[in-house]
Amino acid sequence: AAKPVTVTLTGAGGQIGYALLFRIASGQLLGPDVPIRLRMLEIPSGAAAAAGTALELQDCAFPLLHSVDVTTDLAEAFDGTNVALLVGSRPRGPGMERGDLLQANGTIFGPQGAAINEGAADDVRVVVVGNPANTNALIAAAHAPDVPSDRFTALTRLDHNRALGLLAAHLELPVGQLSGVTIWGNHSATQYPDVFHAQANGTPITDLVDEAWLQNEFIPRVAKRGAEIIAVRGGSSVASAANATIDHMRQWVGGTGSGRDGSDRDGVDWTSAAVVSDGSYGVPAGLVSSFPVRSVNGCWEIVQGLAIEEFSRVRIDASVAELIEERDAVRALGLIRD
Ligand code: NAI
């Protein structure tokens, strides 16, 4: 039998946690043959909700679920972790200044990065979902000097999937016929959803949509979809965020060719993830920025050689400028060093 894989989820008592845990335990994250040892990290105010969810997990009698632990202790949570899903964070509250937000998250993601550095398995892979996700990943990576920085990522797969969904609806085509969409930059309203390399059944998307639609409809709607969901649903994205988290980690581990839906979309396409920049596409090295990526042998690589037109360049640069500002702000707060 396969050795259990240790999956640590922070914010396990929250909404996204509730939408994620049952999918993880049923085998949708790592496949139908991999036993899961679950570690659920919470802060004291969320521990009861996490404990209740743990009871429900037991009541599902998932054959793959090797064990479940609920803890408020960082060292316990990350001991031997192979897969870390960092969902719990301090989102921006009413009237909260950006400095306060970054400070609050620095005190969460700094110690979590240090605990990963101390105790996680050698093959640890980390995805940050909690906002501001890119900069939280930057902070965590900075506190884990012994872990290769390419193991720290932030989630932009939800934005990628939103772009696919909106494009498919507009073109009245199944999502599976679309490929080559990219999210660039920050997981925020400055992100740039790029369809200049995208295709529908081999036809360039730019032959199928006009620039006015891209500029006035598509780009702002993808970038502000989170706010649209809040306005319509009366609450933030939960199941779609959990779904994207599963997609991100499943393909990181299993490769971008391992589409679980049986379509070949994942085989011919790339996806989007925020990874530590190596300077590709003029994004300063060290920033955690979203790129077109493929996963090969369990490692992300940035898709190289895409031509970037002026239309895209200014939008990528604007989002990267925001990432630079966030990085400089957390440096000034002493949350990371140069
Ligand atoms: P939630 O408020 O329902 O749950 C968050 C949970 O995290 C709470 O139970 C809280 O007690 C816990 N938590 C807070 N600090 C913690 C810490 N230091 N250690 C462990 N647990 C901690 O929020 P929800 O809806 O589950 O969202 C979680 C985060 O995901 C938010 O920051 C949200 O902005 C972000 N998000 C990111 C998306 C993305 O695409 N990157 C999409 C949707 C949400």
Q: Which residues of 120-131 are buried (b: 16+ CB within 10 A; e: fewer)?
A: bbeebbbbbbbb
Indicate the top mutation candidate among 129, 159, 186 to test ligand 1's pocket, ranked by most ligand atoms within 8 A of CB: 129
Q: Which residues of 170-203 are buried (b: 16+ CB within 10 A; e: fewer)?
A: eeeeeebebbbbbbbbbbbebbbbbbbbbbbeee
Q: How far is CA 8 from CA 3, 25, 131, 156, 271, in A?
A: 16, 12, 18, 20, 24
Residue whose CA is at the smallest distance from ligand 1 atom 2: 14
User: Of ligand 1's atoms, which has the minimum distance to the CA of residue 235?
Assistant: 25
From the list 112, 118, 30, the residue with the least C-alpha distance to 66 is 30
Residue whose structure tokens are 């996680």: 120
d(CA 277, CA 259) in angstroms, rounded, equals 26
Distance 228 CA to ligand 1 centre (A): 19
Tell me if residue 143 is catalytic.
Answer: no
Residue 272 has, within 13 A of its CA and on its CB side, a CA count of 29
CB 171 within 8 A of CB 140: no
Looking only at Cα atoms, what is the longest distance across the chain? 55
Distance 56 CA to ligand 1 centre (A): 20
Ligand 1 neighbour 42 (Cβ under 6 A): yes
Q: Is 95 exposed, middle or buried (0-12, 13-18, 19+ CB in 10 A)?
A: exposed
From the list 156, 138, 127, 188, the residue with the least C-alpha distance to 322 is 188
pTM: 0.96
d(CA 315, CA 321) in angstroms, rounded, equals 10
Q: Which of 143, 160, 187, 248 is catalytic?
A: 187
Ligand 1 neighbour 242 (Cβ under 6 A): no
From the list 71, 65, 36, 35, the residue with the least C-alpha distance to 51 is 71
**Helix (H) or strand (E) segment spanning residue 85:** strand 83-86
Mean pLDDT by 10 residues, the chain (338 residues): 93 98 97 96 98 98 98 98 97 82 93 98 98 97 98 98 97 93 97 96 94 97 96 96 97 75 53 98 98 94 95 98 96 89
Distance 87 CA to ligand 1 centre (A): 5
ipTM higher than the 0.95 cut:
yes
Residue 35 has, within 13 A of its CA and on its CB side, a CA count of 11
What would the pLDDT profile of 196-225 be if each residue is shown by its tens digit?
Answer: 999 998 899 999 999 999 999 999 999 999
What is the dihedral angle through the alpha carbons of 195, 256, 247, 237, rounded to the nearest 10 degrees? -10
Residue whose structure tokens are 């006015």: 212
What would the pLDDT profile of 270-321 be if each residue is shown by its tens digit?
Answer: 999 999 999 999 999 999 999 999 998 899 999 999 999 999 999 999 999 9
Provide the token pair at 81: 């972790």
Ligand 1 neighbour 45 (Cβ under 6 A): yes
Indicate the top mutation candidate among 236, 249, 271 to test ligand 1's pocket, ranked by most ligand atoms within 8 A of CB: 236
